[in-house]
Structure 1
Amino acid sequence: MKEAHFKTLLKKYQEGKATASDKEHIRFFENQLKKKNANQIFTNDQHKEELKSSIIGVINRKISKPSFYWSKIAAILVLLLGVHLYRQYVSHSNTLYNEVTSGPEVKYYILPDSTQVWLNKSSKLQFANHFNETRDVILEGEAFFMVKKDQNHPFKVRFEGNELEVTGTQFTVNSKKTKQEVAIKEGSVTVTTTALEAYDLKVNNVLKITGQSSVKSIEEFPRSGYWSQGALLFNNMPMHQVLEIVSKRFGQTIRIENIDKGQLGLRISAKFTEDISVFDLLNSLTHITPFTYELNIERQELIIK
């Protein structure tokens, strides 16, 4: 998040024009700053509270119509970084989080912890630069998640003021302005709504949220939750063409190293279901023709050897 964008969000909040998504970004930014910088600024908890009380007092005297949340945010920013440190932090990091958008097509993306995400059309996913420490994402639109299991670092999805938490499972989140829905394919999750109601969801549970009301039901997980383009069918196709299709389907650049032309010309006949992951597909291909692969998550690149 650039400094100008953050200032715009704060101004909208102060004027009462911030959307649920805007508020989520502000809270996300606040939480990341606190986690990353608190130990560098305060000598102890008493020191933090004394400074906070002092600054909030000044802000409340200066603003004719003070907003409690605006005062809180401003105080936290000054306390955590100070004006000089805040500007220095923004200029060095450039952005606090990364953004992935799907545009007019479904987009497949692998997060830094190896969690796999299918973003439906016209959707957006944001996550912190130091993602492996927090595993928090913000979703606008719809996505299917195949979360990498990590008991020590829960995976959280924030959407329209709601929060989903899990350590490792498979589920979809459909986040629209007026209605949100969570469907579980595998494992279990906990969802806390904007009304502060907590729901524990298991396989084939669906939670539908409309405003301040929520309804939990039991339904078969929708196959449309993958938004894929159908099954993958290779009929006597050369290996190099198979890899080209895999690259396009999963949005991964494929770099080939140390494989001879004879192996790349090997013809393959196979069929894979629409919900297969790129890892399972490549593992299956290694049983047909021997090769190894590595994933460069930062570049979203698969290296075939």
Structure 2
Amino acid sequence: MRHILPTLSLLLVSTAGTLEAQAAAYAITTNARGVQQLVRFDPTTPGSVSTLGPTGARLTGIDFRPATNALYGYDGNQLYIVNQITGVAALAFDVGNTTGNAGFDFNPVVDRIRVVDAGGTNLRLNQITGGTTTDMPYTFASGDVNFGRRPSFTAVAYTNSDTDAATGTTLYGIDSNLGQLITISNPNGGSISTVGSLGIGAFSTITGFDIFTRGGVNTAFFAATSVGATASQLYTIDLTTGSATLVGGIGADNMVEGLAITAVPEPGTWAMLAIGLAAVAVAKRRKRGIAHLERA
């Protein structure tokens, strides 16, 4: 019996160490009846989609707040908190206006929301007060392959989306007109640089883009609908080259209008941890019972 507790404790520690996170993707889509809904899927197998429910709004972007893991949404002039179980979007604040499809993502370092649109609007939203700051527009840097062109962002995402400010962060954007990945060195405005072509052909300006961080590794996911198609495809993007790699179609007839990736515990690890805890508890009770008999 003396060896049971150390052994089980070791099991518990090793089990806790396997509580790594896998990714869960949430997306806003519009069904054949024109109803916008929140769906969830595994980004490694996007063909199987679970519909959570209608948003009750017309959101153009969603993202998880790293500090709380709450899901936020934006419709062009209002900020919402989205129920991750039912899909319902609850109004939080009236905020700054954008036009068309907008990029929407939390800056994990300063805990504020970045919103940009294809027309050049560049906003900072405060999800706590509802305050809006209008920042300078972006321009391609001198010498860049796209110098002189006006950027047209429909999606943005930050790297290192975690709660450790020391890791820093970089903002990337999707220019739907150019079909290219862009890096934004200063989110508050200024020069930007072209990373490279996505290489997926022409696609709709209705897109979804997010970067999932795990163990210090950033994986960029991009949902796009090819021109003339009725359903979106999911891609991963190489942040060093801009090249996109197809993962697969997202369900059936799901046109994605916003994408957010979050971490969830792997299903089996919680069960393993529970078994380990139960075993330790049983061992402790047995040890107390033996000690009681020895004292009697």
Fold shared, TM-score > 0.5 on shorter chain = no
Query: Normalized against structure 2, the TM-score is what?
Result: 0.26
Higher RCO (Cα < 8 Å, 6 or more apart):
2
Query: Normalized against structure 1, the TM-score is what?
Result: 0.25
Q: Whose strand fraction is larger, Structure 1's or Structure 2's? A: 2
Q: Whose helix fraction is larger, Structure 1's or Structure 2's? A: 1
